[in-house]
Every structure is written in structure tokens, then in C-alpha cells.
Structure 1
Amino acid sequence: MSADLSLLQQRHSVPSRQLGEPAPDEASLQALLEAAIRVPDHGKLVPFRLIRMQGDAKLHFGEQLAAIAIHNNPEMSEAKLEKERLRYTFAPLVMVVVACLHADSKVPAIEQKLCAGNVAYSILLGAYALGYGAQWLTGWAAYDDEVAAMLGLAEHEHVIGFVHLGTPQFEVPDRDRPMLAELLSTWAP
């Protein structure tokens, strides 16, 4: 059997600081996101949603992050504060992938979170397939209650990641990858 696995074999993250314009156009983004939500979903719960951040919204988000950061750590250096302000401004598009957990479901929460994580990874794969670059980031903002409130998340929702999308501005070398032989075992009774 001959199958083309090059998408999986070559995909790599592009650091968000190295992503610039253009982002996927509206038609490409729509197709990318429609493909990305076709993930394994035990119980057909659709335990995820997406929030799009572009343009001035990213600047405003960064300003609010900086305000939260300085409130949480008044001793924060100006350099670190500036990093918080600018963190989401490099890539032209940021998709926030949100897990929407159904507590009343028989499907364990971990499976629901993995479903949402598959959406984030599918966005990475799809972006690469379309010729764009992407990076899935979390950081403290993904786990902060004030940030969750700022994003309008309900109590049962959690940020899975911020997927930064754009066009690579530099050639990004692939990183060293693990050797399959060191990870694979065979179970036998």
C-alpha cells in the first residue's frame, strides 16, 4: 500500500513571533475550521467551540493580559509586562480553542478535553496543508480565571489553547524528533 503521509511527517510549528501576514483568507479559514471540527467525539457532545481574535482585538486582549499580569505580580519587570502586551500581536490571526465540558455526560471529562485538543491539532495540520504556519500555545492565560471571564467563558469551559496562524516569515528548521523504537512496545499476556 502506498499512502502519502508527508503532511504528518513534515508538519512542524512555526513560532508565533515568526508568523506574519497574510492569514488565511475568509474562504480558506472557513474551510480549515470546518475540516478541523471533524474530530473523534464520543457521545457526539461537540465539547468545544472557537473564538477568533484578529486586528485590534488582539491588541486589546494583550493590554488586558498585561493589566491582569501586573495585578497578579506587582513586581513584574517592564520587559515582562511588554511581553504580555505583545504576546498575541505577531500572528495575524489567533484562534482560541475552548473545551466545553458536559458534566452530566457519561463521557469522561478527559475524553471531552482530548476532543477539543484534537480540534486544535487539526487546525495546525490544516494550516500546514494550506501553506500557512501555526503554533499552539497555552501559557498562564489559558488557565487564568480572569482571562476566562474576559473571553466570556462559562464555568464549564476551559481554554485548550491559543492557535496562532499566519504566513511564516522565515524558514523554520524542524526540531529533533523522538525515535519510534524508543517509544513503541508490544504488550503480550
Structure 2
Amino acid sequence: MDSITVLHKRVSSPKLTAPGPTVEQRDAIYRSALRAADHGLMQPWRFLVIEREGLDRLGELFVQASLHDNPELSQAEQQSLKTKPHRAPLILVAIAACRQHPKIPHVEQLLSAGAAVQNMLNAAFAQGVGAFWRTGAMAYHPVVTEGLGLGQLEQVVGFLYLGTPAKPPHEPKSVNPEAFFHPWPAQ
């Protein structure tokens, strides 16, 4: 699939199964992250690769975080949280590894980490690997961020779920660029 087609047709695959991406596919996905827009070449990102027993440990971390907020969490709710990471055989936790810099503000570093995730989504789609980007409360919960080993200026920008699409990707909705791109100054 050529690059423009990938950019125009990419959609998320919300239902994923095993197997996860091959070693070669992972390498292409990982390398694409490292080509994201990056003011000052700061490489303000890092990624945790979670699979197999790591998925179980992440689920346990989600339960710990939720119990911290609600000690009355039911067993059914706890079980649901434990299984959330198993929605895919591989999860990449994308972390904005921001640093103090006199010319490159935190927000630019955060956006760069987000651009790295978008590059990985595109690389996955181009290779037929299913992917979806999730955040939600667990991405920002202090129990989760501490459990994942995040530093003071770091934050999770997303959980990138990767696997084999359970069904073929749907055709994306047509969107009119004129609804979003406007001349300035206005005519």
C-alpha cells in the first residue's frame, strides 16, 4: 500500500486477536516512531513493550489503581479491569519523556510523542497489523504511572494495542477538507 493511501485510509481495528506483529513488523513500527516531528532532536519519548505475562501485570496495576479510588470495587469490576490489557496480544505504552529545555517547551515535546504514536499507527496499518490507541483514566492515574516507572516530567500519551484484526478494516468516512481548512485572513 503506498504511503498516501495509508494516510487516507487508515482506521483503527478495535477487535484484535493473536498473533501480534512479527519481529519484522515490530521493527518497522518502532522505527516509524523515531521519525516523528521532533523540534531540537530531543527524542522526547520512550515505549514500554507489554505482552504475555506483562498483560496480566498491567491488568493487576489497573485493579490496584481502581481499588485506590474505590475500595468497594466489586469482584466483577476487578475482573473486568484485569482483562482489559488482553484486548490485544501486544501493547506499547507510549510515554512522553519530557525534559526541561530553554527553547523547546513541554507542550512541543508532548506533541512530538503523540506524533510518534500516530506514526506507529500508520506503520501498523500499512503492514496489515491491527491497532488502536487508548488512553482513559488509567493512562493518567498516579498508581499506574508509578507502577510503570514514569519519571517526574513523564506522562503516558497512550496505550497502543497491536494484533491481528478480527475482521477486515472498514472503509473510513469521507471527510471534506474544506470544513477544516480556511484561508486567512478571511476573504
TM-score by length of 1: 0.90
Shift, 1:175, TM fit: 5.1
Match of 1:10 in 2: 9
Q: C-alpha separation between the residues in 2 aligned to 1:103 and 1:56?
A: 35
Deviation at 1:140, TM superposition (A): 0.8
Task: Give the counterpart of 2:91 among 84, 94, 116.
Answer: 94
What are structure 2's unaligned runs of at least 5 residues? none
TM-superposed CA distance for 1:146, in Å, is 1.2
Distance between the aligned counterparts of 1:22 and 1:89, measured in 2?
A: 12
Measured in 2, the distance between the counterparts of 1:5 and 1:35 equals 15
User: How far apart, CA to CA, are the structure 2 residues paired with 1:95 and 1:7?
Assistant: 21
Check 1:105–1:22 CA distance in 2 against 1; reply closer, same or farther (3 A cut). Answer: farther
1:142-171 per-residue CA deviation (whole Å, 9 max, x = no partner) reads: 111111111111111100100000010123
One-letter amino acid of the counterpart of residue 26, structure 2: L
SS in 1 for 2:62: helix
Match of 1:136 in 2: 133
Partner of 2:20: 23
Q: Corresponding residue for 1:148?
A: 145
Match of 1:108 among 101, 105, 109: 105
SS in 2 for 1:111: helix
Aligned residue pairs total: 185
C-alpha deviation, 1:58, in angstroms: 0.6
- Counterparts in 2 of 1:61-76, with a 5 A limit? 61-76=58-73
Distance in 2 (CA, whole Å) between partners of 1:46 and 1:119 is 10
User: 1:34 and 1:143, CA in 2 relative to 1: closer, same or farther beyond 3 A?
Assistant: same
- Partners of 2:94 and 2:44 lie apart in 1 by 11
- Classify 1:172/1:81 alpha carbon distance in 2 versus 1 (closer, same or farther; 3 Å): farther
Q: TM-score, normalised by structure 2?
A: 0.91
Distance in 2 (alpha carbons) for counterparts of 1:51 and 1:176:
32
Supply the distance in 2 between the matched residues of 1:130 and 1:171 (Cα, whole angstroms). 13
Q: CA deviation at 1:46?
A: 0.8
- Give the AA of the match of 2:103: K
Distance in 1 (alpha carbons) for counterparts of 2:109 and 2:86: 30
| 3-state secondary structure, aligned to 2:56 | helix
Q: Secondary structure at the match of 1:142?
A: helix
Partners of 2:156 and 2:106 in 1: CA distance: 14
Report % sequence identity.
32
Within a 5 Å distance, the mapping from 1:113-132 to structure 2 comes to: 113-132=110-129
Q: Deviation at 1:177?
A: 5.0
- Residues 51 and 4 of structure 1: CA distance in aligned 2, closer, same or farther (over 3 Å): closer
Q: Partners in 1 of 2:79 and 2:106 — Cα distance?
A: 36
Structure 1 unmatched runs, 5+: none
Aligned to 1:38: 35
Q: Quote how far apart the aligned CAs of 1:76 are.
A: 3.3
Please say if 1:160 is aligned against 2:157: yes
